C-alpha cells in the first residue's frame, strides 16, 4: 500500500508541511508549482514508488506550510529547500521541480551542487515570449465568487488545454485559493522568463533533464526555448511530451513517470 506520511519541518523560522513516501530507494524531492502544494504529487507517486523515496514539501505560502506576509522571491524558496535538505543524511538527492518549483530546483542545483545528484526541470517558466495572462487570471479569480475559478480552470479546453476532470478542478481550485497572496504577487512582478535563473543554468553540474509540455498547448516553453534551456545546462537533455499540458504530471502521468525513471536510473 502507498501511504504518505506528513510532518512539519522548521527551516529557519518557517514551518513547512512535508509529505514523504518511504522506501529503500534513492530520494527524489518533488517541488510543486505556483499555487499548488505537495499534494499534487500523490497520484504520480504510485508510479515512482517504491523505486524512489519521495519527499514532497509544500513551499512557503502554499498548502499547509506557513504563509508569511513577505518573502516570496526565488531566493526565499531556495533557502527553505536547501535548509530542508540539509536535515537529510542521504545527500546528494534527485530533485524535480515543476514550473515555480523548477525555478527553485535550478537555483538549488546551481548554488549548492553537493545537494543535487540529478535534476529534472518540468516545463520551467524560462521563456519570456510565452503568455503569462493565466497567472493574472487565476490571481483575480481566487477572490471571485464561488465557482468562477472552477469554471475558468475547466474552460482550459477552449484555450487549447487538455480537459481536466471535475474532481481535479475542485481540488486544484481549493489549493489555489489557499495559497498566499504574496506568492502570486511575486510571480506577477517577476521578470518574464526569469533571466537571472537562466543565467545560472551553465553552472549546474548535475545531469539535467528538461521535460517540456506541448508548445502547441499551454506550455511554459516554446519549442526553440525548450531546446535552448536544455543546451544551457552543461549535462542537459530534453524530452517533449506531445499533447501534454503545462501540468505534465497530471495530463500525461504514464509518459511523465517513464521519462523520469529512464533518466534517473540510467
Please determine, for residue 159, whether its predicted confidence score (pLDDT) is greater than 80.
no
Grid-cell match 518574464, residue found? 192
Domains of the chain with CATH codes:
5-130+192-265 (3.40.50.1820)
pLDDT confidence of residue 11: 97
Q: Does 161 score more than 70 pLDDT?
A: no
pLDDT tens by residue, 223-237:
999 999 999 999 999
pLDDT of 162 over the 80 cut = no
Integer Cα distance of 197 and 104 in angstroms: 9
3-state secondary structure of 201: helix
Express each pLDDT in 181-217 by its tens digit: 999 999 999 999 999 999 999 999 999 999 999 999 9
Q: What separation in angstroms does the CA of 231 have from each of 175, 180, 209, 235, 244?
A: 34, 34, 11, 8, 22
- Apex 253 CA angle, 250 and 259, nearest 5: 130
Contact 44, 32 (CB under 8 A): no
Q: For 105, phi and psi rounded to 5 degrees?
A: -60, -40
Greatest extent of the chain over all pairs of C-alpha atoms, in Å: 49
What is the tens place of the pLDDT at every residue in 48-103?
999 999 999 999 999 999 999 999 999 999 999 999 999 998 899 999 999 999 99
Q: What's the rounded Cα separation, in Å, for the pair 128 and 237?
A: 21
Residue the block writes with cell 504510485: 46
Give which of 185, 197, 78 is closest to 128, Cα–Cα.
197
CA–CA distance, 266 with 264 (Å, rounded to integer): 6
For 188, other C-beta atoms within 10 Å of its C-beta total: 12
What pLDDT does residue 160 have? 53
Query: How far is residue 266's CA from residue 253's CA, in Å, rounded to a whole number?
Result: 20
Band of residue 1 on the pLDDT scale cut at 50, 70, 90: low
129 grid coordinates: 515570449
Strands 15-21 and 5-10: antiparallel
Cβ atoms < 10 Å from Cβ of 144: 12
Amino acid at each position: 500500500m502507498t501511504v504518505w506520511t506528513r510532518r512539519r519541518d522548521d527551516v529557519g523560522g518557517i514551518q513547512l508541511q512535508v509529505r514523504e513516501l518511504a522506501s529503500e530507494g534513492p530520494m527524489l524531492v518533488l517541488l510543486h508549482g505556483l499555487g499548488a502544494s505537495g499534494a499534487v504529487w500523490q497520484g504520480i507517486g504510485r508510479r515512482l514508488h517504491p523505486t524512489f523515496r519521495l519527499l514532497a514539501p509544500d513551499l512557503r505560502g502554499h498548502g499547509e506550510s506557513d504563509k508569511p506576509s513577505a518573502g516570496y522571491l526565488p531566493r526565499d524558496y531556495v533557502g527553505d529547500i536547501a535548509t530542508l535538505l540539509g536535515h537529510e543524511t542521504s545527500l546528494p538527492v534527485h530533485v524535480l521541480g515543476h514550473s515555480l518549483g523548477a525555478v527553485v530546483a535550478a537555483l538549488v542545483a546551481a548554488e549548492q551542487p553537493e545537494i543535487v545528484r540529478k535534476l529534472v526541470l518540468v516545463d520551467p517558466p524560462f521563456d519570456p515570449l510565452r503568455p503569462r495572462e493565466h497567472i493574472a487570471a487565476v490571481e483575480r479569480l481566487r477572490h471571485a465568487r464561488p465557482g468562477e475559478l472552477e469554471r475558468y480552470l475547466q474552460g482550459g479546453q477552449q484555450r487549447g488545454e487538455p480537459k481536466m476532470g471535475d474532481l481535479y478542478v475542485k481540488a486544484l481550485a481549493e489549493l489555489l485559493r489557499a495559497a498566499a497572496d504574496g506568492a502570486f504577487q511575486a510571480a506577477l512582478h517577476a521578470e518574464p522568463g526569469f533571466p537571472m535563473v537562466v543565467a545560472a543554468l551553465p553552472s549546474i553540474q548535475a545531469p539535467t533533464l528538461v521535460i517540456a509540455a506541448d508548445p502547441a498547448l499551454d506550455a511554459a516553453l516554446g519549442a526553440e526555448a525548450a531546446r535552448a534551456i536544455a543546451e544551457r545546462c552543461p549535462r542537459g537533455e530534453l524530452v517533449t511530451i506531445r499533447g501534454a499540458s503545462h501540468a505534465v504530471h497530471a495530463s500525461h502521468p504514464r509518459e511523465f513517470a517513464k521519462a523520469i525513471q529512464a533518466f534517473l536510473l540510467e
